[in-house]
C-alpha cells in the first residue's frame, strides 16, 4: 500500500512529504526511483532483494574462503527475515557487509561514507560505529570470555534493571515500539532471554572462532573485524534478550559475519576430515532453514 499509493515518482519526490512508513529518507528516495519505472509491488520487492543479494554476493566473492557455503548459511539463517520482512535493514546490513575491508583497514573516511549511506536505508546501521572503534582496541581471548560471562550475569540476574534502563532510553531516542514487551503492537512479545537457543549457538561460533585465532589469522586479514563484530552482536543478543524484537534487530546487523566465519571454521578440518564439517553444516543449517521456513 505504501509503495503503490503513497510513494511518488522521482519527478515529484522533492515536493512530496515523507510518510511515516518510510522512516529513512534514503529508502524513501530509492523507492521513489523504482516507482518511476513500475507500479508493481512484486517487482519493487524483487529489486530490493536483488540489491541486497548483489552486495552480499560481492562480499562473499571478496572475503569468503568458501563462497558457496557462505551463501548457504546466509539463505538458511537470514534470507527470510531480511528479504521478506526487514527489507530496509536487510539492504543496509548488506551494504555494511560489502564494506568489511574498510573496517579492517581502519579507513575512517570510507567507513563514514559507508555508514552514512547504510543509515539512510536503516538507522540500525549506526551500530557499525562502535564496531569500527573496536578495531582500535587490542581485544584478546580473555576479553571475549569475560564479556560473555558478564553479559550472561546481567541477563540472568538483573533483567529488571535492563528492562527499566532500555525502556527509558527507548523513549529518549524514539524507539519505544521496539522496547515495549506488553504485546501492544501485536508483535513485541517478551523475549526468551537466556532460554533463546540462538544465544548458545552464537556463543559456540564465537568461542570456536576466538580459540582458533592463531590458525584463522593465517587464512584471513579480516580476523579481528569479524570477531569483534560477532562479539558485539552476541553481547547484544544476550543482554537485550528480554526484548524479542529489539534483540533480534540489533544483533542481526553483525551476526551477518557468520557467513564468513563458518566457512573458515570448516576449512580448519584437514582434507581427510573436512567431510565431517560439511555433514555437520548440512544438518545444522537445514534445521535452521526448516525452522525459519516453518
Task: Tell me the pLDDT tens digit for each residue of 100-137.
Answer: 999 999 999 999 999 999 999 999 999 999 999 999 99
- What is the percentage of the chain residues whose pLDDT exceeds 90? 76
195-198 LR contacts (CB < 8 Å, sep 24+): 196/237, 196/241, 196/247, 198/237
Confidence of residue 77 (pLDDT cuts 50, 70, 90): very high
The pLDDT tens digits of the residues spanning 225-234 come to 999 999 999 9
> What pLDDT was estimated at residue 184?
62
pLDDT score at 272: 84
Q: How far is CA 84 from CA 78, 96, 129, 191, 290, in A?
A: 10, 19, 27, 21, 16
- Which region among 4-18, 149-163, 208-222 has the lowest average model confidence (pLDDT)? 4-18
270 pLDDT above the threshold of 90: no
User: Is residue 25 over pLDDT 80?
Assistant: yes
**Structure confidence at residue 19 (pLDDT):** 73
Which band of pLDDT confidence, cut at 50, 70 and 90, is reported for residue 9?
very high
What is the reported pLDDT for 44? 95
Whole-number Å distance between alpha carbons of 13 and 66: 42
Averaged pLDDT score across all residues of the chain: 92
For residue 181, pLDDT beyond 80: no
| pLDDT for res 74 | 97
Residue 260 in grid coordinates: 564468513
Please state the domain extents for the chain. Answer: 40-293
C-alpha separations of 94 from 77, 126, 185, 293 in Å: 14, 14, 27, 21
**pLDDT (mean) for 41-57:** 95
Average pLDDT over residues 252-264: 97
pLDDT at position 187 is 59
Is there a contact between 200 and 113 (Cβ–Cβ < 8 Å)? no
Cα–Cα distance, 108 to 115 (Å, whole number)? 10
Q: What is the mean pLDDT of residues 263-285?
A: 91
10 Å CB burial of residue 269 (0-12, 13-18, 19+) is: middle
Of 74, 82, 91, 75, nearest to 34 by C-alpha is 91
Are 150 and 239 within 8 A, CB to CB?
no
The pLDDT of residue 273 is 86
Residue 185 has pLDDT above 60, yes or no: no
With beta carbons less than 8 A apart as the criterion, state whether 194 and 155 touch.
yes
DSSP 7: P
Amino acid at each position: 500500500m505504501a509503495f503503490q499509493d503513497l510513494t511518488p515518482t522521482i519527478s515529484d519526490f522533492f515536493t512530496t512529504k515523507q510518510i511515516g512508513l518510510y522512516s529513512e529518507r534514503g529508502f524513501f528516495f530509492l523507492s521513489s526511483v523504482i516507482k518511476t519505472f513500475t507500479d508493481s509491488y512484486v517487482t519493487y520487492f524483487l529489486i530490493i532483494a536483488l540489491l541486497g543479494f548483489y552486495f552480499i554476493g560481492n562480499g562473499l566473492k571478496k572475503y569468503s574462503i568458501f563462497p558457496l557455503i557462505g551463501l548457504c548459511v546466509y539463505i538458511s539463517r537470514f534470507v527470510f527475515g531480511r528479504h521478506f520482512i526487514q527489507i530496509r535493514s536487510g539492504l543496509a546490513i548488506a551494504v555494511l557487509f560489502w564494506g568489511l575491508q574498510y573496517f579492517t583497514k581502519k579507513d575512517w573516511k570510507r567507513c563514514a561514507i559507508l555508514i552514512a549511506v547504510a543509515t539512510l536505508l536503516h538507522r540500525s546501521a549506526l551500530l557499525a560505529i562502535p564496531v569500527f572503534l573496536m578495531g582500535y582496541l587490542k581485544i584478546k581471548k580473555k576479553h571475549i570470555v569475560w564479556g560473555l560471562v558478564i553479559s550472561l550475569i546481567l541477563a540472568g540476574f538483573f533483567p529488571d534493571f535492563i528492562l527499566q534502563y532500555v525502556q527509558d532510553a527507548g523513549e529518549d531516542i524514539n524507539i519505544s515500539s521496539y522496547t515495549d514487551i506488553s504485546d501492544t503492537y501485536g508483535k513485541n512479545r517478551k523475549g526468551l532471554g537466556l532460554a533463546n537457543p540462538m544465544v548458545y549457538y552464537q556463543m559456540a561460533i564465537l568461542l570456536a572462532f576466538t580459540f582458533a585465532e592463531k590458525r584463522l589469522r593465517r587464512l584471513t586479514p579480516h580476523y579481528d573485524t569479524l570477531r569483534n563484530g560477532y562479539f558485539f552482536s552476541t553481547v547484544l543478543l544476550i543482554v537485550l534478550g528480554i526484548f524479542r524484537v529489539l534483540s533480534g534487530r540489533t544483533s542481526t546487523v553483525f551476526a551477518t559475519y557468520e557467513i564468513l566465519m563458518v566457512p573458515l571454521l570448516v576449512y580448519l578440518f584437514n582434507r581427510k576430515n573436512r567431510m565431517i564439517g560439511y555433514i555437520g553444516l548440512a544438518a545444522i543449517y537445514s534445521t535452521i532453514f526448516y525452522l525459519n521456513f516453518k
